[in-house]
Structure 1
């Protein structure tokens, strides 16, 4: 008889596990990093592992303020978009039980393939031009914002952390942020299946406070990875399960130690369903940081109006003398 489960996530945010059978990853996976595949089982952290005194959680947000087209002197047009993006860090002092906003950075950019584009002054806000090479394809513009946003996350993380070795938790995959030491990437939505059916059963059998063994992903942004289940109401097989990853620029044993550290740290920040539609995966400090960063981006309606006026000025015909 088929069993049914309701995903705890609000459907407006998609699903906590979005991988279809056809999305099985083709990446080379080494499942024998911590345990041989035949010996895989749910793991708990050794009793000697304690959460760090201070944890830094990092996130970034982006927003498209306007889409636009240029008109070149040769009669051609190029697509563009005006985007705002911000990154910030929350410093969680676990000993004091306090969380503070440790730093934020906000930038705006005009992304376009136009070779003649210049900055746009929209009232008191400047959108610095970020020229892109290649064909004038509008579909390339939105993904182009991710690079500058990632750079902003690295900059604020480095600035806040300084010379300390506090554990750094990045919301999302590490990608090209792997140079940050003592850092883990936190992936709350599962969009690919990396393990075969036998090992996937180990993952979906995890109880709160348990994790899978560490495995190695051979993707373009490959790294050590593991799954863990956060505390929360029972539900679908993937309810409360997140994937965590770290760089391969450290020994395997150090990655295993980070896996245990994440297991005694991340559950502390799990959100509650009555407060967050993406509970428990959307960590409480990250949710608060997202709200603050979106506020720092400014009023989207006012910015769109200012951009419209700036565009109108650029096309105005000068009065005859």
Structure 2
């Protein structure tokens, strides 16, 4: 007899939408929680958003992508100086504007290229195709280099959101793909987390998440780690029985009052399901919203031809080479 099984709807090339170990250790989080913000913790239940609360008239969505183009070595300036590993990489951040009944429109894009290395003497790399600005990583391990690149991309997204948020109208809501860290002070801004690495809720409240139907949300709660924010979970339409399938977490600033929070949570919950990704177009559906998928494709295009950039880096290394590459 065949063992029953369920297939995770996300492409196996990506991290699963929910970390199974986190689900099994619901009480392991060190986050400080206030579960009584909207409803008492003992009275938690799935919430259908108020139909009188409209989705935002204009939804701005911010996202970013990164790509490592080459692993390389830089050298300390002294004779026989030590070879220090690094990466040459590109990243891009962008914002897409969504209005009901109209095509989505990209309104801002920022591209950055970096030489990421722990070598304190590293300088910019200038090639015939691009300039890679030297950025310092704390250590030389590949994980450290990629983490430093991700931190740079996050800052690129934050800076772009801050600049564009200053020009946005009061009716526009900004949805940032990822945690709200660094942007909690921005008005009408919500973080959108589609991958769950940690199960923040105790078992009783996590059961409410599992019981959500598409288009429903949990009560709003307050959470604090190294920073404080309000949060709630929303379920998108998902054709899968995987635990928490189609569930995303939304975040809003910690200083919002209850009435404003409830209106914001209801408005966002109305807005998200129609934008849910579909599995035949996106391997991370439904959490990867259609506008996010489209923006990511455009941003990857803006990164340029990886093969051309790689050849330009090789040519620049040949011109500047003063040391033999280390044997690995």
Q: TM-score, normalised by structure 2?
A: 0.89
- 2:40 aligned partner: 36
CA distance in 1, matches of 2:127, 2:203: 53
- 1:123 aligned partner: 128
**How far apart are 1:184 and its partner, in Å?**
0.6
Unaligned 5+ residue runs, structure 2? 324-328
**How far apart are 1:158 and its partner, in Å?**
3.7
**How far apart are 1:170 and its partner, in Å?**
0.6
What are the Cα deviations for residues 241-264 of structure 1, in whole angstroms up to 9, with x where unaligned? 111111213224322222111111
8 A Cα contact 2:231 2:249, kept in partner: yes
8 A Cα contact 1:19 1:190, kept in partner: no
8 A Cα contact 2:175 2:192, kept in partner: yes
CA, structure 1 residues 266+3, in 2 after alignment: closer, same or farther (shift >3 Å)? same
Matches within 5 A, 1:139-178: 139-161=143-165, 162-165=167-170, 166-178=172-184
Moved more, 142-151 or 116-125: 142-151
8 A Cα contact 1:8 1:235, kept in partner: no
**How far apart are 1:298 and its partner, in Å?**
0.9
Whether 1:264 and 2:270 are equivalent positions in the alignment is yes
CA distance in 2, matches of 1:139, 1:6: 29
CA, structure 1 residues 135+232, in 2 after alignment: closer, same or farther (shift >3 Å)? closer
Q: Deviation above 6 Å: which 4+ runs of structure 1?
A: none
8 A Cα contact 1:176 1:221, kept in partner: no
8 A Cα contact 1:90 1:102, kept in partner: yes
**How far apart are 1:163 and its partner, in Å?**
4.2
- 1:275 aligned partner: 281
Q: TM-score, normalised by structure 1?
A: 0.91
CA distance in 2, matches of 1:142, 1:288: 24
Whether 1:11 and 2:7 are equivalent positions in the alignment is no
Unaligned 5+ residue runs, structure 1? none
Matches within 5 A, 1:25-174: 25-74=29-78, 75-94=81-100, 96-132=101-137, 134-161=138-165, 162-165=167-170, 166-174=172-180
CA distance in 2, matches of 1:281, 1:177: 21
CA distance in 2, matches of 1:123, 1:213: 54
CA distance in 1, matches of 2:77, 2:153: 32
What are the Cα deviations for residues 34-89 of structure 1, in whole angstroms up to 9, with x where unaligned? 11111000001112100121100110001111122222234223222111000111
CA distance in 2, matches of 1:3, 1:193: 25
RMSD of aligned residue pairs (Cα, Å): 2.0
What are the Cα deviations for residues 294-313 of structure 1, in whole angstroms up to 9, with x where unaligned? 01101112211211221221
Count of aligned residue pairs for this structure pair: 314
- 1:249 aligned partner: 255
